[in-house]
Amino acid sequence: MTISSNIGHEAPQLDLFTSEFKEKAYPFYAKLREHDPVYRFTLLNGQIAWLITRYEDAQAVLKDDRFIKNPHTMLSQKQINKMFPTLERDLLINHMLSSDSSDHARLRNLVHKAFTPKMIEGLRDRIQEITDTLLDEVQNKGKMNLVDEFAFPLPIIVICEMLGIPPEDRDQFREWSDTIVEASNRPEKIQEARPTFQSFIKYMGHLIEDRRKNSTEDLVSALIHAETEGEKLTEKELYSMLLLLIVAGHETTVNLIGNGVLALLQHPKQLENLKNNPELISSAIEEILRFYGPVELATNRWAGEDVLIHEKLIRKGDMVVVALASANRDESKFENPDVFDITRKNNRHLGFGMGIHYCLGAPLARLEGQIALLTLLRRMPDLRLNTDAKTLKWRPTYLMRGLIELPVMF
């Protein structure tokens, strides 16, 4: 990937979806931060976009309400139809991550009570129980694919229990989530994934109908009955919010655990320090979120008016992509940013975003990550890679940074 000043020239095409991009991303971001921090490029669908790579600029954009999240506000119906066929559009852009100002506040207020630090802390014992059960199943094998056998099932069990999803359906939800995440923002993949969207909608329709008749203490029932200032979720919003909670409720934690174990295994001194000083787990989690953050890019924004950043004119309607992974390695913000240091102080990373769209599930992801890593290192102190690190591949997804698999021995 080469870098050149591209104002006045055709914007180069940049494929942000591939494993190859993820492997080269950090050096690429470093060059952009130095030479072209507001980088104009073309998405695979031909749309012009801007990649924001410096910390201060990323922070400013994430907090600036001139950048719009709701595509209906900024795009023509033709553009929206091209990006999202009708069925998938209803699921993918009717939740709080695709809303602005008062509409966002309404949607967020309907679910935030389930994700307060106090509510999440009440899940600690259950998360610990699930963690131990998963490790019991592999303890005597001496090896496992950490992603498939530990990092994935832990958060999917937690979010499914919060939503009231029966245990026998959890594997199905994992498959749905994988397919939907990989299809998001890629129209050609969305078409291929249509049967997945259809089966998800059918399943959730039966579940919602049941909860309307037989309300329980789960999050689905809470969303059906929740009201904010006299308003309830519309039918489209309900389906879309449930999809968001299922995907965001476990995808971030899957990557946090997998990326965190990889970072520790790649840095043996830091691994030993954490094993010997488990009280460092909080700062270790924050450093993992900075160094190998589970979310590579913030969700899409569009300029609501012409905006000038570093003498680059971002025109009204242009897409803006904030590279969280780049901001978290910004040399002007973090000392020795490419060094993994679990004792790092004042670690003000953007791993969970910033502003009104700051990740609602951050307390849950942090707690799951802390319990998972501490328990894993306590029970499997000889944990090590069971493959050449060079063979590891990042998942080919747009927003996320996560490993396809992580073979380990213990």
pLDDT at residue number 4: 43
**Which amino acid is located at 407 in the chain?**
P
Instruction: Confirm whether 10 is domain-assigned.
Output: no
**pLDDT per residue as tens digits for the range 241-276:** 888 888 777 889 999 999 999 999 999 999 999 999
Q: Is residue 2 part of a domain?
A: no
- Read off the CATH number of the domain in which 154 is found: 1.10.630.10
pLDDT of 391-410, one tens digit each? 999 998 888 999 999 999 99
Within a domain: 362 = yes
- Asked whether residue 7 carries a pLDDT value surpassing 70, the answer given is no
Domain assignment of residue 8, yes or no: no
CA distance 255 to 401: 7
> Can you give the residue range of the structural domain that contains 31?
19-409
- Region 283-300: what's the mean pLDDT? 96
Across 303-330, average pLDDT: 96
Top mean-pLDDT range of 60-74, 100-114, 177-191, 230-244: 60-74
Question: Cβ neighbours of residue 269 under 8 Å, at least 6 residues apart?
Answer: none
Radius of gyration of the chain (CA): 21
The pLDDT mean for the chain works out to 88
For the chain, report the end-to-end CA distance as a whole number of angstroms. Answer: 38
Give the pTM. Answer: 0.89
Average pLDDT over residues 366-375: 98
CA 322 to chain centre: 13
| φ, ψ for residue 152, nearest 5 deg | -75, -55
pLDDT digits (tens, 9 = 90+) for 330-350: 999 999 999 999 999 999 999
pLDDT at 217: 87
Collapse the DSSP code of 144 into the 3-class scheme (helix H, G, I; strand E, B; otherwise coil) and give the result.
strand
Distance, CA of 250 to CA of 365 (rounded, Å): 8
Helical spans, DSSP H, in 146-234: 146, 153-163, 170-183, 187-192, 194-213, 219-225
Residue 340 maps to a domain: yes
Number of domains in the chain: 1
Out of 5-19, 83-97, 108-122, 277-291, give the one with best mean pLDDT: 277-291
- Which tokens is 242 given? 């449930």
Distance of CA 273 to the CA centre of its chain: 28
13 lies in some domain:
no
- Report which residue type is found at 345: K
- For 63, counting Cβ atoms within 10 Å of its Cβ (0-12 exposed, 13-18 middle, 19+ buried), the class is middle
Per-residue pLDDT tens over the stretch 165-212: 989 998 888 888 878 777 765 666 777 888 888 888 889 889 999 998
Spell out where 59-190 has E strands: 67-68, 143-145
Residue whose pair of structure tokens reads 């001194």 in the numeric block: 269
61 pLDDT tier (thresholds 50, 70, 90): very high
Q: Judge whether residue 327 has pLDDT over 70.
A: yes
Distance CA 266, CA 250 (A): 24
Q: What pLDDT, on a 0 to 100 scale, did the predictor assign at position 3? A: 47
pLDDT at 95 over 80: no
Q: Is residue 256 part of a domain?
A: yes
Q: Is residue 157 part of a domain?
A: yes
Does pLDDT of 55 surpass 90? yes
